[in-house]
Structure 1
């Protein structure tokens, strides 16, 4: 599979890149500082700034899928959608956020009292991206993958659970997923295409 990964140098993006390359996929890593990408078999690095969507579209052309691993506050969703549509790539997979997931009370996680104030603007921007995808016409095959509440670098255990719109809670009472296992789940989705035009979530 030919994958265009926007945000390839980030914490999550770099783990997705490694997972996909390990499985033999061909990747184009797009970043504002592509020189940070270490040379690896199957990888080519390209400069990209989503504020210039038509330039990005030229780099995306010819790929099977675009993956966005960019922080929501670092781009405008309209620019991302314009770049993907102009490129002719039919499929977009987005590294989502947990803030728009429901909790047991029926509230969104971002609206609960314990949600960190410092993370609210990013979570709200993520919800805006999800809403834009849900409004997109059916010519775009999109998937938005939300992590669990605690989403940090860790261990690749090789196991995870899937959910839909509700926050997953593990047997230990915590909502968490390592970035390594999230990358595993995302590349599994790239290969299987099991959630077209849907949001789903991943956790332990």
Structure 2
């Protein structure tokens, strides 16, 4: 497939690109600044700003699916949503963990002591998910990582969940960028969560 990846220069974007190309897919690697994106077989860097609808519509031409991997803080999600609808493709969104439930009806972000410095990104991500859940036009999937989300190994040994926070046997909620990317590409190749949020963790 041809995958348009918005936010290809980021930590997650780089791993998603690597996972996609290892499976034989082509990646349109979209970022405001493409200096750090290497043009190589299967990867086409394209400079485009998410706030510029015309640039994005042009950048994703020919793509089978779009992946959105950007920060939600300071993002006008309503405007982004309007652009994605015009694209007319399936969209997979790299989400956050804070909107996952730690108890029935209680999300992680609402627990006592949740850090304010994380909330500035986590709350807009939660609101973006709520907006998606109320929308009937966009073909979307939102993949939330576990709490601790960073560079690590590509093990292929992880679990999937829906709206509940996943915790490993060691009591930690974590997933590597590399294994997250496997789950995302699996969903692209074999959709099982259309119009839904799901999560991945050890």
Fold in common (TM above 0.5): yes
Distance of 1:126 and 1:165 partners within structure 2: 14
Q: How does 1:1-204 map onto structure 2 within 5 Å? A: 1-89=1-89, 91-104=90-103, 106-137=105-136, 139-204=137-202
- The C-alpha deviation readout for 1:135-186, integer Å capped at 9, x for no partner, is 222x421000000111111111111101110100111111111111001111
Q: Give the SS at the match of 2:103.
A: coil
1:97-146 alpha-carbon deviations (Å, 9 max, x no partner): 00000103642101112422210010001011101111222x42100000
Secondary structure of the equivalent of 2:46?
strand
| 1:75 CA displacement | 2.4
Classify the secondary structure of the residue corresponding to 1:73.
Answer: coil
Structure 1 window deviating more from structure 2 (60-69 vs 5-14): it is 60-69
For residue 48 of structure 1, report the CA deviation from its aligned partner. Answer: 1.5
Which structure: greater helix fraction? 1
| Deviation by residue 1:80-108 (Cα, 9 ceiling, x = unmatched) | 2222222232x000001000001036421
Moved more, 190-199 or 55-64: 55-64
Q: CA deviation at 1:35?
A: 2.1
Report the secondary structure of 2:35's partner residue: helix
Tell me the CA shift for residue 59 of structure 1: 1.4
Residue 52 of structure 1 contacts residue 79 of structure 1 at CA under 8 Å; is this kept in 2? no
Quickly say closer, same or farther: Cα 1:176–1:114, change in 2 above 3 A: farther
Task: Report the RMSD for the aligned CA atoms in angstroms.
Answer: 1.3
Partners of 1:98 and 1:149 within 8 A in 2: yes
Instruction: Verify the 8 A CA contact 1:8 1:14 in the aligned structure 2.
Output: yes
Gaps in structure 1 of 5+ consecutive residues: none
Task: Give the TM-score normalised by structure 1.
Answer: 0.94
